[in-house]
Structure 1
Amino acid sequence: MFPIRDHNPSRKTPWVTLTLIGVNVAVFLLLTLPLNDRQLIALYTEYGVTPARVEALDYITAMFLHGGVMHLLGNMLFLWIYGDNLEEEMGPLPFLAFYLATGVVATWLHVVFSPGSTVPLVGASGAIAGVMGGYLLLYPKAKIDVLFIIVIIPKIWPIPAWIVLAIWFALQLVNGTMTVGSGAGVAYWAHIGGFVAGLIGTLPWFLKEGAARWWQKTDGHPPHPDAEYGRLSSTSIPTVRRRK
């Protein structure tokens, strides 16, 4: 179950979202990828968040470091799906402040639940979880195309955002509860903290738009028409028509 896009991309170019993606990719390609394992550990220890000896600036620098290609690609895909609409609603600079603030809260909660840990935390997923929380509040019925792999057959179904995000959040809660104090490799409590911070942090915009009246006005979707996507096929083999 993997979200790949929403049906209501923003009408304006989401410059902050694109810049965040660009900075994350550039940091990975220029600073992370060329390093060997020992150098990577030193980088993560210096600029990631290590709960046992955390420094204030680490809360920001850790958001722009990633542990591998898939870690980076997954985070950037989620940021692209959910970030553009939130940026359009909030405005570029408020959205940037929202992103960084929810990322800090997410990391702080990870530190609270991992006292004394010497394992550095890196990644943008806490801040992106905040973006997802804000998206859920403003656009609960927006359609998200979700890729399912059934055995070896890929299928794509459009699913309301509230279902996709509720399932994602439930998984973070379950996994976070089961792995407290275990030193798990995934910072579930950072995801949980970011998501809740995103919900709370989006309340001013939700209330400004009229709260429940906003949902009635937009039917829970971003306030512009759906994009028109071509039909997605589950196979790349072209159809050959019989000659007459």
Structure 2
Amino acid sequence: MTESPPPQPGREPAFNVPGPVLLVVGTILGLYAVQSWIGPDWPYRFGLIPAHLWQGDALGLLTSMGVHGEWMHAGSNAVGALAFGAPLARRLGGDLRGYALFIGFFLVSGVLSALGYALLNPESQVPLIGASGAVFGLIGAATRLMNPWGVLEPLLSRRVLSMTAAWVAVNLLVGFLGFDPSTGIRGIAWEAHLIGLAVGLLGVGLWFRLWRVPPPALPRSGPWTGTPGGEH
């Protein structure tokens, strides 16, 4: 079952970015600003090297999200979080618990996307870096929440399927070309993007149930009113 959307609400300010999203964006850019102080070996110190993961070095699953190859890399991930993080952040709430749940979802998406990449490339010695997998987790969640009410849409709805197909096509194109035509960045881990997208699409409903996130408040009257059903 899914939730029944209420009537169209009033328009919100154009630049009403939730605090948790700004925190993620600031962290991505801030960490990149200081990583040059670490030294030239930072990709091997903090990136995820799949071959090392299977030897017990799992810290890179988390630390790889905090380092980026260049300003364009960090900036594109910051813009992605800024553009697609708001629907999930608003649904989770702006209190301390909402902050924690948003950051938790972001980190879980990043860790699972990196783990999936390592499973697909188990012998790779090339460090995986960047928060792209976590950002695609936000994109996946937003794909099911990108409506005026914060309602979780069915996985098989026309809008969710069309947006998912578009993201899959873009990443397959990046994989085929070997670089991102919008930024010129090479060596894109498109597999991690798709895994992060799947985590967001499939995991957002589970995240809501796991942490008992309440459904959005619905008005008592109007053509779209009704009691929200369970979220999947």
Report the TM-score range of the alignment, normalised by the length of the smaller protein. 0.5 to 0.7
- For 2:105 and 2:198, the matched residues in 1 are separated by 13
Percent of residue pairs identical: 28
1:74 deviation in Å?
0.7
1:88 deviation in Å?
1.2
- For 2:50 and 2:108, the matched residues in 1 are separated by 18
Q: Secondary structure at the match of 1:200?
A: helix
Deviations 1:135-182 (A, max 9, x none): 00112699xxxxxxxxxxxxxxxxx88755531222224555897xxx
Higher relative strand content: 1
Q: Do 2:111 and 2:134's aligned partners in 1 also have CA atoms closer than 8 Å?
A: yes
Q: Does residue 144 of structure 2 align to residue 137 of structure 1?
A: yes
- For 1:141 and 1:135, the matched residues in 2 are separated by 12
1:200 deviation in Å?
1.4
* Equivalent residue, structure 2, for 1:71: 73
* Equivalent residue, structure 2, for 1:200: 202
Q: Which amino acid aligns with 1:167?
A: A
Q: Secondary structure at the match of 1:66?
A: coil
CA-atom RMSD in angstroms: 3.3
* Equivalent residue, structure 1, for 2:44: 45
- When normalised by structure 1's length, the TM-score is 0.64
1:20 deviation in Å?
1.5
Flag the 1:129–1:10 CA change in 2: closer, same or farther, 3 A. farther
- Alignment partner of 1:95 out of 91, 102, 112: 102
Deviations 1:108-149 (A, max 9, x none): 11101111111001101000000000000112699xxxxxxx
- Alignment partner of 2:61 out of 59, 80, 84: 59
Q: Do 1:45 and 1:120's aligned partners in 2 also have CA atoms closer than 8 Å?
A: yes
Q: Secondary structure at the match of 2:85?
A: helix
Q: Do 2:144 and 2:160's aligned partners in 1 also have CA atoms closer than 8 Å?
A: no
* Equivalent residue, structure 2, for 1:14: 18
* Equivalent residue, structure 2, for 1:235: none
5+ unaligned residues in a row in structure 2: which ranges? 1-10, 93-97, 150-158, 179-185, 217-222, 226-232
Structure of higher CA gyration radius: 1
Deviations 1:53-88 (A, max 9, x none): 022221111101110011111110010011122111
Q: Which amino acid aligns with 1:30?
A: V
* Equivalent residue, structure 2, for 1:108: 115
- For 1:79 and 1:165, the matched residues in 2 are separated by 17
1:27 deviation in Å?
1.3
Q: Secondary structure at the match of 1:123?
A: coil
1:209 deviation in Å?
3.6
How many residue pairs are counted as aligned between the two chains? 181
5+ unaligned residues in a row in structure 1: which ranges? 1-6, 143-159, 211-215, 219-244
Deviations 1:190-227 (A, max 9, x none): 001100001111114499649xxxxx959xxxxxxxxx
